[in-house]
Amino acid sequence: HGLGRIAVVDFDVHHGNGTQDIFWSEPDLFYASTHQSPLYPGTGSEDETGVAGNILNAPLPPMSGGVEFRRAMERIVLPAVDAFAPELLLISAGFDAHARDPLAHLELNEGDFAWATLELMRLADRHCDGRVVSTLEGGYDLRALALSTAAHVQTLMTGQ
C-alpha cells in the first residue's frame, strides 16, 4: 500500500491497551487515546509514551464532559497527531463515553463526537489527502449509540 506513517486516534471511553501494545515499538505508527481514568483496563497513563514517543495518552477523570474532552483534543491530541503528519488516519470510534452510556461517566454527547470527527478530518485533509478510516468500537446504550454513530457518519459523509 506504500503508506509509511499511520496514526490511530481512539476516543472510546476505555483505553485501547491492545492497540497501544501493538504500536509500542513501531516508530512509524502513532497512537493517541482520550479515555476515562480510572477505569478498566487500568492502562493509559500519560507516562506511557512508547519506545519512540509514538504513544500519547490523555486520560480524563469521570464527569469531565465535552468541554474537557474538546480541550484535551485541541491542546494535546490534535497537535501531536499534526506533528506526526500521518499518511493515513484511523479513528477508533467508541461511543461509550456518551452521557447516556451506563458503563462509564465521561458525559459526552453526539455533538462532541461529531466535532472530534470533523477536527480529525481536517487533519487528514492536511496530511493524508483526506484518507480516514473509522472503526466502530464501544457503545452500550442503544439510543446513545444510534445518535452518536449517526452524527459521526454524517460528519464523515458531509465534512460538516
pLDDT tens, per residue, the chain with 160 residues:
688 999 999 999 999 999 999 999 999 999 999 999 999 999 999 999 999 999 999 999 999 999 999 999 999 999 999 999 999 999 999 999 999 999 999 999 999 999 999 999 999 999 999 999 999 999 999 999 999 999 999 999 999 9
Q: Give me the CATH number covering residue 61.
A: 3.40.800.20
Give domain status of residue 91, yes or no.
yes
In a domain, 126, yes or no: yes
For the record, the C-alpha cell of 123 comes out as: 487533519
| Domain assignment of residue 28, yes or no | yes
- Look at residue 1 and tell me if it is in a domain: no
Residue in the structure block whose three cell numbers are 497501544? 20
> Is residue 145, in this structure, part of any structural domain at all?
yes
Cα distance between residue 78 and residue 118, in whole Å: 12
Instruction: Please count the other Cβ atoms lying within 10 Å of the Cβ belonging to residue 1.
Output: 6
Residue 151 forms part of a structural domain: yes
In a domain, 84, yes or no: yes
- Between CA 15 and CA 153 the distance in angstroms is 22
Q: What is the pTM of this model?
A: 0.97
Q: Which domain holds residue 63?
A: 6-158
Q: How many domains does the chain have?
A: 1
